[in-house]
Structure 1
Amino acid sequence: MSSLSLNWRHGFDRWTTQWIRNWLDGHTQRAALNVSTSKWKLVTNIPRRSVWGLALFNVLVNHMDAGIKCTLSKFASDMKPSDAVNMLEGRDAIQRDLNSPERWAHVSLMKFNKAKCKVLHMAWGNPKHRYRLGREWIESSPKEEDLGVLVDEELSMAQQCVLAAQKANQI
């Protein structure tokens, strides 16, 4: 995130924006691995995975869910919208809710990693509607891992038990 892009669009007032700019102004950084080090460079961006980067990322994404009606789970850099969809109106509501963060990302000069976006259809008789993120269709997936737990479209624990047994055998 460039220090120049910190402004009212992201919820920062002038004082906070100036404070962050002053902190960045004239600061240098370098990378070190074992005994090798890079050359010192001026800090022009907030370093990724730094405390500053994480704190500011959370501030930036805090308003991403404004106007979303479905259940939205946010964890670090993951976002999971979910809802029961049994009619076309439900499908349209989910699509509207997917359009909202896409617009937010565009205005915030950010992008979603659309290759990591998947739809997990659960329950029997699910019509398996298709959804878009922006102009791109989101792929459907028969299973997804979330916080170390494997969830499949049939809500079966069989695959989770196999993974747990494999991990136990590795230990």
Structure 2
Amino acid sequence: MVTLRVAINGSTSKWRPEMSGVPLGSVLGLMLLNIFVGNSVIKCTLSKFADDTKMCRAVDMLGGRDAIQKDLNRLERWARANLMRFNKAKCKVPHLSQGNPKRKYTLGGE
């Protein structure tokens, strides 16, 4: 268990226990994600900046689309097991090129 408080403009909140998760602004989540990705079989390229993670892969066959979905499933399972969440409202799938079938991908069943 961790005890946290917030400080803004010289004012601080009371100390409060935090039972799970990663404090906002913490680098712990990114470090855990890097450890997971470094030890996993993710086929897509991940790039990270601050608390944003981008997963990308060129897809020219059905197998490539399946690989992206499998990697999304692995990331979601890892996040759930480590009491972390992805902000699904901010997740976007850009489909590039003409004639792209624009497959729908899911993150955690959504």
Where relative contact order (Cα < 8 A, 6+ residues apart) is larger, the structure is 2
- Residues 33 and 89 of structure 1: CA distance in aligned 2, closer, same or farther (over 3 Å): same
Identical aligned pairs, as a percentage?
Answer: 50
The corresponding residue for 1:119 is 93
Q: Which runs of 5+ in 1 are unaligned?
A: 4-23, 137-171
Structure 1 runs (4+) deviating above 4 angstroms are none
Deviation at 1:101, TM superposition (A): 0.7
Could you tell me whether the CA contact under 8 Å between 2:45 and 2:55 is conserved in 1? yes
Could you tell me how far apart the structure 2 residues matched to 1:30 and 1:82 are? 35
| Gapped regions of structure 2 (runs ≥ 5) | none
Cα RMSD for the two superposed structures:
2.4
Task: Name the structure 2 match of 1:33.
Answer: 9
Q: Match of 1:57, as an amino acid?
A: G
- Change in Cα spacing, 1:103 to 1:123, as seen in structure 2 (3 Å) is same
Q: Letter of the aligned partner of 2:24 in structure 1?
A: R
Alignment of 1:3-22 (within 5 A): 3=2
State TM-score, norm by structure 1: 0.53
Q: Secondary structure of the residue that 2:53 maps to in structure 1?
A: strand
Write 1 or 2 for the structure with the bigger share of helix. Answer: 1
In the TM superposition, what are the counterparts of 1:147-158 in structure 2 within 5 Å? none
> What TM-score do you get using the length of structure 2 for normalisation?
0.78
User: Aligned partners of 2:103, 2:6: CA distance in 1, in Å?
Assistant: 48
Greater C-alpha radius of gyration:
1
Residue pair 1:67, 1:100 contacting (<8 A) in 2 also: no
Q: CA deviation at 1:30?
A: 5.8
Offset from partner CA, 1:13-39 (integer Å, 9 cap, x none) = xxxxxxxxxxx6xxx8563436xx355
**Alignment-mate amino acid for residue 62 of structure 1:** N
Matches of 2:23 and 2:83, distance apart in 1: 17
Give 1:10's aligned residue. none
